[in-house]
Amino acid sequence: MSEPKFFLFDHPLIQHKISILRDKQTSTKEFRELVNELAMLMAYEVTRDLPLKEVDIETPVAATKAKVLAGKKIALVPILRAGLGMVDGMLSIIPNAKVGHIGLYRDPNTLKPVEYYCKLPDDIQNREVILLDPMLATGGSASAAMTFLKERGIKNIKFVCLISAPDGIARLQQDHPDVPIFCAAKDERLNDHAYIIPGLGDAGDRLFGTN
Ligand code: PRP
Ligand code: URA
């Protein structure tokens, strides 16, 4: 089997936006805008392998063959809550994607993911799924979401996050080596509460203004 794929985005625009996102002074409004913009920028690279087909077109001056997307079907699946913040940015680049939702929260005592909601497009088995969650900490939530999707017959999954910790990456690469991980930052470690250090705090709270 081939090595698990891990893509770390080093584009200066992405790094700049991630730094503002981390800053505790950044407001909820700005945080939301940044997550949206980051998802949009990352969508560009995440869709790099989309297949193309050749069609005949006519420009104002000549007939020619041109490449267009072959129409591969995509579903975006945010892990609630924080994954919701990445949906609109992705949709602005992939407007025809359908959107499913998986509700998971991490129990603060056991750190295990607890599932509370799931609604997926009917034809999800025929789609490539882009699973979205800004934070990959222990990897418990993302791994559970991937297992859940695979149990529903989905074979083709990509995972997109903003900030990852080494533990979460190792966990996903062990549990789901077939799922490529795309992320904007790889941080140092987890603290005693399994928060990412330096991280950005609680992504859901910062996105929705709760605490
Ligand atoms: C956060 C985050 C991930 C999870 C990551 O969600 O959005 O889903 O934690 O942690 P893990 O890798 O250790 O599983 P949280 O459980 O805080 O739920 P929320 O989005 O509803 O606040
Ligand atoms: N979930 C978050 O929102 N932040 C972390 O640092 C870890 C898990």
Q: How far is the CA of 33 from the centre of ligand 2 (A)?
A: 19
Give the sign of the dihedral formed by CA 121, CA 125, CA 129, CA 134.
positive
User: Within 13 Å of residue 23, how many CA atoms lie on the same side as its CB?
Assistant: 12
* pLDDT value, residue 71: 82
List, chain by chain if needed, residues with CB within 6 Å of any ligand 2 atom: 135, 137, 195-196, 199, 202-204
* pLDDT value, residue 1: 64
Rounded Cα distance between 130 and 47, Å, is 10
Report which of 164, 163, 172 is spatially closest to residue 144, judged by C-alpha positions.
172
Q: What are phi and psi of 90, to 5 degrees?
A: -65, -40
Torsion (CA) 9, 13, 16, 19 in degrees, nearest 10: -50
CA of 83, nearest ligand number: 1
Rounded Cα distance between 37 and 39, Å, is 5
* pLDDT value, residue 53: 96
If the chain, 211 residues long, is cut into consecutive pieces of 10 residues, what is the mean pLDDT of each piece?
90 98 98 98 95 97 96 94 98 96 90 92 95 97 96 95 98 98 98 97 97 87
In the annotation, is 202 catalytic? Answer: yes
String of DSSP letters for 110-130: T--EEEEEEE--TTGGGSEEE
Q: Are 104 and 147 in contact (CB under 8 A)?
A: no
Contacts of 62 (CB under 8 A, 6+ apart): none
Q: Which of 88, 167, 175, 202 is catalytic?
A: 202
Q: How far is the CA of 195 from the centre of ligand 2 (A)?
A: 5
| Helical (H) or strand (E) element with 69 | strand 63-69
In the annotation, is 133 catalytic? Answer: no
Give the sign of the dihedral formed by CA 60, CA 63, CA 66, CA 69.
positive
Q: Which of 48, 59, 110, 122 is catalytic?
A: 110
Helix (H, G, I), strand (E, B) or coil at 35: helix
Ligand 1 pocket check for 78: Cβ under 6 Å: no
CA of 86, nearest ligand number: 1
Q: pTM for this structure? A: 0.96
Alpha helices for the chain (secondary structure H): 12-22, 28-46, 87-93, 140-151, 166-175, 203-208
In the annotation, is 205 catalytic? Answer: yes
Question: What's the pLDDT tens digit per position in 71-103?
Answer: 889 999 999 999 999 999 999 999 999 999 999
